[in-house]
Amino acid sequence: MQTLTPQTPMATPDIPELVKRLRQSFDSGRTQPIEWRLHQLDRIQTMLREHESELVDALAADLGKPPLEAYSTDVGFVISEIEYVRKHLRGWLKPEKVYAPVAVQPGHARVHRDPVGVVLVIAPWNYPVQLLLSPMVGAIAAGNCVIGKPSEVAPRTSAVMTRLAAQYLDQDCVAVVEGAVDETTKLLAERFDHIFYTGNGRVGRVVMEAAAKHLTPVTLELGGKSPVIVDSKAKLDVAARRISWGKFLNAGQTCIAPDYVLVAKELEQPLVKAIGKAVVDFYGTDPKQSPDYARIVDDRHFRRLEGLMTSGTASIGGDTDASQRYIAPTVLQQVDASSPAMADEIFGPILPILPVDDVDEAIDFVNERDKPLALYIFSESHAVQRQVIDQTASGGACVNATLFHVAVPGLPFGGVGPSGMGAYHGKASFDCFTHRRGVLTKSTRLDPPIAYPPYTSFKEKFLRRVL
């Protein structure tokens, strides 16, 4: 894993002063014109393009992220998200005409898209560029002032982004504040108009409690155990490759990574064999030597994951190296549904495989647990695909794929129940930070006294007819 000299964290600004400055900017109307929004988005793209290699190095130092993954899932992800927003923003901003009933004629009714004000974005460490900047892009596109708080668990990336944001963005409207629990707690004490949090559910509750004090709406992008169902009619080699890719990308530290697999029991062994082949095809016979395989972010997570290895028998992988925080791509079999690996989100490269009798059993297994962030079904049968999608609930889902729904800007991305609330990406990001303001405009040419007192039986008859 690459090492970088840790950058000196930037001094934490006076947080109440910062929020006050941003609020003054927002109130001045500076962020309202589309030109300001497009210019800031353009600055983020320029910043990412001009500092791509510095960010890729920081991601390698924090997570051992392979350069191609650093580009496709962090830096390049945000660049293409901005491309999409820039193409559509003018259309999204157009007031939407809605039906105006007879009772309000002559007049017209429109939904305006107002920015909400000053927003806070709190990001985690696993895709530290994407998960900080992508919500910030939505907030800026919607015309808000925004403070971003990157994760202290990915300190090099956090430091680079804080420095670059100060250099490239309009500092009176957009800021990135580095820090950990103390700084986040200070930020959460302030009044924001929206808080967007990505991370675990425990801190999600802390965020929601702080937001409640100011009646601030929240978006919570949380995690959970995202299941994969492999039906007896699945195309096994494709399923194995797509599951392995989705699971072992970023060493399993992906919120929508396949957490565990429920497989038709007659396919358990063939699937394990096919996953074994995919792992060798991807990373060679010794994944520790592969430049395309990431590392665990810190010692705490490394120890936690090592502890989960005892939940079953490792039929693939199983080896670890604490000095590099390396955990091999691992498949666990003979896993008890009540074992630690099946209790909480794994968030690492360990994949339990559990045999089931049929799809109904798999559906029941999923539905007995918390609603997950993602769900994946592999089957060539349309009836089974539909049955699984119709009879389960999850934040998002893929049929015969893993993770890729995240790359479709037209699909809202978010959780449901314990995996989160609210959604973003593409238009959903714009909507997330927008107040849909209903505006009725009446003509003054006519002002019939029909709704005004004194009420008469004629007025009542008329109103009963038109309302």
How many helices and strands (H and E) does the chain possess?
16, 18
Could you give the CA distance from residue 270 to residue 276 in angstroms, rounded to a whole number?
10
Residue 105 in contact with residue 89, Cβ under 8 Å?
Answer: no
By CB under 6 A, is residue 149 in contact with ligand NAD? Answer: yes
Query: Hunting for tokens 């920015």 — which residue is that?
Result: 115
By CB under 6 A, is residue 372 in contact with ligand NAD? Answer: no
- Rounded alpha-carbon distances, angstroms, from residue 375 to 41, 154, 279: 32, 27, 22
Residue type for 282, please?
Answer: F
| Catalytic residue list contains 255 | yes
Binding ligand NAD by CB under 6 A: which of 155, 258, 317, 420?
420
Closest residue to ligand NAD in the complex (CB): 223
Tell me, residue by residue from 263 to 302, as one string, x for binding to ligand NAD by CB under 6 A and - for no binding: ----------------------------------------
Binding ligand NAD by CB under 6 A: which of 122, 140, 175, 432?
122
Residue 126 in contact with residue 250, Cβ under 8 Å?
Answer: yes
Q: Which parts of 172-211 interact with ligand NAD (CB under 6 A)?
A: 180-181, 184-185, 198-200, 203, 206
Q: How far is the CB of 12 from ligand NAD (least distance, A)?
A: 13
Ramachandran sector of residue 334 (left: φ over 0; alpha: ψ -120 to 50; beta: rest): left
Binding ligand NAD by CB under 6 A: which of 59, 89, 177, 222?
222
Could you give the CA distance from residue 11 to residue 15 in angstroms, rounded to a whole number?
11
Please give, one letter per residue, the 3-state secondary structure of 49-88. Answer: HHCHHHHHHHHHHHHCCCHHHHHHHHHHHHHHHHHHHHHH
Before 454, cis peptide (omega within 30)?
yes
| Catalytic residue list contains 380 | no
Binding ligand NAD by CB under 6 A: which of 117, 138, 217, 223?
223
Report helix, strand or coil for 381.
Answer: coil
By CB under 6 A, is residue 137 in contact with ligand NAD? Answer: no
| DSSP secondary structure code for residue 340 in this structure | G
As to burial, measured by CB atoms within 10 angstroms (0-12 exposed, 13-18 middle, 19+ buried), residue 174 is: buried
By CB under 6 A, is residue 71 in contact with ligand NAD? Answer: no
Number of chain residues interacting with ligand NAD (CB under 6 A): 28
Q: Which parts of 150-169 interact with ligand NAD (CB under 6 A)?
A: 151-153
**Between 257 and 362, CB nearer to ligand NAD:** 257
By CB under 6 A, is residue 126 in contact with ligand NAD? Answer: yes
Residue type for 428, please?
Answer: A
**Between 317 and 420, CB nearer to ligand NAD:** 420
Phi, then psi, of 69 in degrees rounded to 5: -70, -40
Catalytic residue among 145, 173, 255, 398: 255
**Between 340 and 355, CB nearer to ligand NAD:** 340
Catalytic residue among 69, 190, 221, 345: 221
Active site residues per annotation: 221, 255
The residue ranges that bind ligand NAD (CB under 6 A) are 122-126, 131, 149, 151-153, 180-181, 184-185, 198-200, 203, 206, 221-223, 255, 345, 347, 373, 415, 420
